[in-house]
Amino acid sequence: MKRRTFLRATGAAALLTLVPRGLRAAAPTVSRCRPSDAAWPSKSAWQQLNDAVGGNLVPVDFPLTILKSDPDGTHAKELLANLKNPYFIREHAGLTQSLGWIDAWKTSPSVYAVMARNANDIAAAVNFARENQLRLVVRGGGHSYQGTSNAPDSLLVWTRNMHDIEMHDEFVPQGCEHTMRPQPAVTIGAGTIGIQAYAAVTTKGGRYVQGGGCLTVCLGGLVQSGGFGSYSKHYGTAAGSLLEAEVVTADGQIRIANACTNPELFWALKGGGGGTFGVVSKMTLRTHDLPEFFGSANFTVKASSDDAYRRLIRKFVGFYHDNLFNDHWGEQVHVRPDNTLEVQMNFLGLDGDQAQGVWEPFLTWVKANGYSLQGLSIGSIPARHYWDAQWWNEHWPEIAFPRNGNPLHALADDILVHVMSQPAMAQDNRSGAAPGNVWWKGTTGECAIYWWGYESLWLPASLLESDQQQRLADALFAASRSFEIGLHFNKGLAGAPPDAIAGAKDTATNPVVLDAFALAIVADGEEPSYPGIAGHQPSLEKGRRFAQRIDRCVNKLREVTGPSGAYVSESNYFQRDFQQAYWGSNYPRLAQIKQKYDPDGLFFVRNGVGSEHWSADGFTKL
Ligand X SMILES: Cc1cc2nc3c(=O)[nH]c(=O)nc-3n(C[C@H](O)[C@H](O)[C@H](O)COP(=O)(O)OP(=O)(O)OC[C@H]3O[C@@H](n4cnc5c(N)ncnc54)[C@H](O)[C@@H]3O)c2cc1C
Q: Which stretch binds ligand X (CB under 6 A): 24-32, 137-145, 322-330, 581-589?
A: 137-145
- Name the DSSP letter for residue 443: G
Q: Let me know how long the chain is.
A: 622
Q: Are strands 57-59 and 242-248 parallel, antiparallel or unpaired?
A: unpaired
Among 10, 82, 85, 97, binds ligand X (CB under 6 A): 97
Q: At closest approach, how far in Å is the CB of 166 from ligand X?
A: 17
Q: How far is the CB of 438 from ligand X (least distance, A)?
A: 14
CA distances from 377 to 217, 300, 364, 403, 615 (A): 27, 10, 15, 13, 50
| Residue 194: partners with Cβ closer than 8 Å, 6 or more residues away | 211, 212, 213, 214, 215, 216, 217, 218, 219, 222, 229
The least distance separating ligand X from the CB of residue 602, rounded to whole angstroms, comes to: 12
Min dist CB 117 to ligand X, Å, is 13
Which residues in 403-513 belong to E strands, given as ranges? 425-427, 438-440, 449-460, 485-488
Closer residue to ligand X (CB): 330 or 349: 330
Question: CA 156, CA 128: separation in Å to the nearest integer?
Answer: 11
Stretch that binds ligand X, among 207-215, 555-563, 576-584, 610-618 (CB under 6 A): 207-215
Q: Please pick, from the candidates 228, 347, 371, 530, the single residue that binds ligand X as defined by CB under 6 A.
A: 228
Contact assessment for residue 517 and residue 461, using Cβ atoms and an 8 Å cutoff = yes
**Is residue 120 close enough to count as binding ligand X by CB under 6 A?**
no
Under DSSP, is residue 466 helix (H, G, I), strand (E, B) or coil?
A: coil
- Choice between 277 and 546, CB closer to ligand X: 277
Could you give the angle at which helices 43-52 and 3-10 cross, rounded to 10 degrees? 100
Tell me whether residue 374 or residue 444 sits nearer to ligand X (CB atom): 444
Determine, following the binding rule CB under 6 A, whether residue 280 of this chain makes contact with ligand X: yes
Q: Which segments of 210-305 does DSSP mark as H helices, in order?
A: 219-225, 232-235, 263-269
The distance of closest approach from Cβ of residue 502 to ligand X in the complex, given in angstroms and rounded to an integer, is 19
Task: Decide: is 89 part of the binding site for ligand X (CB under 6 A).
Answer: no
Instruction: List, in sequence order, every beta strand (DSSP E) within 107-250.
Output: 112-115, 135-139, 154-158, 165-171, 183-189, 207-208, 242-248
Q: Which is nearer to ligand X, 147 or 352 (CB)?
A: 147
Choices 30-38, 273-281, 294-302, 502-510; region in contact with ligand X by CB under 6 A = 273-281
- The backbone torsions φ and ψ at residue 602, rounded to the nearest 5 degrees and listed phi first, read -60, -40
Q: How many CB atoms lie within 10 A of CB 462?
A: 16
Give the range of 46-54, 210-218, 404-412, 415-423 binding ligand X by CB under 6 A: 210-218
Using the rule CB under 6 A, is 486 a contact of ligand X? Answer: no
Site for ligand X in 561-600 (CB under 6 A): 569-570
Choice between 145 and 266, CB closer to ligand X = 145
- Which one of 168-176, 218-226, 321-329, 388-396 is the stretch in contact with ligand X (CB under 6 A)? 218-226
342: helix, strand or coil: strand
* Residue 455 engages ligand X in binding (rule: CB under 6 A): no
With contacts defined by CB under 6 A, name the span among 103-111, 145-153, 500-508, 532-540 that binds ligand X.
Answer: 145-153
Residues 156-195 as x/- pattern, contact with ligand X by CB under 6 A: ---x------------------------------x-----
Question: Of residues 121, 327, 342, 446, which one binds ligand X by CB under 6 A?
Answer: 446
Closest CA to 376 of 354, 335, 406: 406
d(CA 314, CA 57): 57
Rounded CA gap, 259 and 277, in Å? Answer: 16
Task: Give the residues lining the site for ligand X (CB under 6 A).
Answer: 97, 138-145, 148-149, 159, 190, 212-214, 217-218, 220-222, 224-225, 227-228, 274-275, 279-280, 443, 446, 569-570, 605
